[in-house]
Amino acid sequence: MIEVSVKCIGCTKCVPACPFGAIAMVSKKAVINLEACTFCGACVQVCPVEAISITREVSSKDFSSYKGVWVWVEFEDSTNLDKQGEIKKVSYELLSEGRKLADQLGQDLCAVALSDKNSNYEKVLGEYGADKVYLVENAEFVQYNTDIYSTAIMALINRHKPAVFLFGATVKGRDLAPRLAAALYVGLTADCTGLAIRDGLLIQSRPAFGGNIMADIIAPNSRPQMSTVRPNVMKISRPVTGKIAILIREDIKIDKNLRRVKILERKIDENQGGVKIENANIIVSGGRGMKNKEKFKIIEELAQTLGGVVGASRAAVDLGFKEKSHQVGQSGTTVSPRLYLAFGISGAVQHLVGMKTSDIIIAVNKDPNASIFSVAKYAVIGDAHEIAPKLIEALRKRKKG
């Protein structure tokens, strides 16, 4: 239900803000055409006197019109010059997982792309499982903005009513999904590490109580069922060559004035700049067993020799051996490299959830009962301070030879 109260001062700001041309001024008051309105809330946002209000039903219980599993397609942005405009890996992970959910529900898997242009998305996303691609084209999407993105996606949700909507638990996904959930008055489970369908409902699993239990969360009273999912948790399925999704171009008007935050300047923190452990193929991590910052440097040297990046346990970060941006685990970054080497890390559950999907894990620990060995392909029982330099020496010799 949307209403314009007597507070309306006839300022007309809501008229261009409406993406559907649903508002007209009649006798200097805003009048909303309910046939055209999708309840996206763009007018509520721009009204300076809070004259427009939307009341949403907490639970209508009849969700039969909500169908399909949707995935928000995230692009690399202008801060990453090498990859600008590329689809982020997490989107392929979500499509792969979304495909399984859609098959279990017997519904479509749909990708939602907000972009300035179509870069063959029906093919690129189709091969990773999408049946349909909803594409909204607008130059305003080049730079991520909460207001612009949420307005466009709200309109799509209200138009097509998805049953499930998945976002990457990335910086942008963690900003956009809660904004949408709050505006739609629906639930959102953050940072999921597992998804499944049971009795037609989305089971959203995530660690709870410090990672000691896995909680299964459902949202039976609202739609869409929304989750953010950690990057590197879901495996990417093999692409189906030649599968092409149906491309649906959506006409949604975007008013620039919705943009309440303007980015004036971007600065890259040089200390954090080069670190991208979430995308690394090789990670060499050190824990408390490395003893101190000075001795931890051998981890950095080994990472450099292998052409990898440095990871760290939380204990190592707390002790100041390495910056937080290198932390692997539940309260750090989830990684899934081809090779993960762990030196002097015990393998607490909070560390394991962040690296156990790595292809090959090699762990070095002087305690033969260390939990890290339960996920390691190769267990080396010994002193990290002796083994790491020997490994560097052997690798250098091999390179020379």
Binding site for ligand FAD (CB under 6 A): 210-211, 287-289, 313-316, 327-332, 344-346, 348, 350-351, 354, 364-367, 370, 383-385
Nearest residue (CB) to ligand FAD, 142 versus 348: 348
Minimal distance, residue 122 CB to ligand FAD, in Å: 38
Report in angstroms the alpha-carbon separations of 275 from 13, 46, 95, 149: 44, 39, 26, 27
Minimal distance, residue 51 CB to ligand FAD, in Å: 45
Minimal distance, residue 169 CB to ligand FAD, in Å: 14
Minimal distance, residue 233 CB to ligand FAD, in Å: 14
Nearest residue (CB) to ligand FAD, 232 versus 327: 327
Minimal distance, residue 190 CB to ligand FAD, in Å: 14
Nearest residue (CB) to ligand FAD, 160 versus 351: 351
Nearest residue (CB) to ligand FAD, 162 versus 207: 207
Nearest residue (CB) to ligand FAD, 9 versus 208: 208
Minimal distance, residue 33 CB to ligand FAD, in Å: 50
Minimal distance, residue 277 CB to ligand FAD, in Å: 12
Residue 58: φ, ψ to 5° = -65, -40
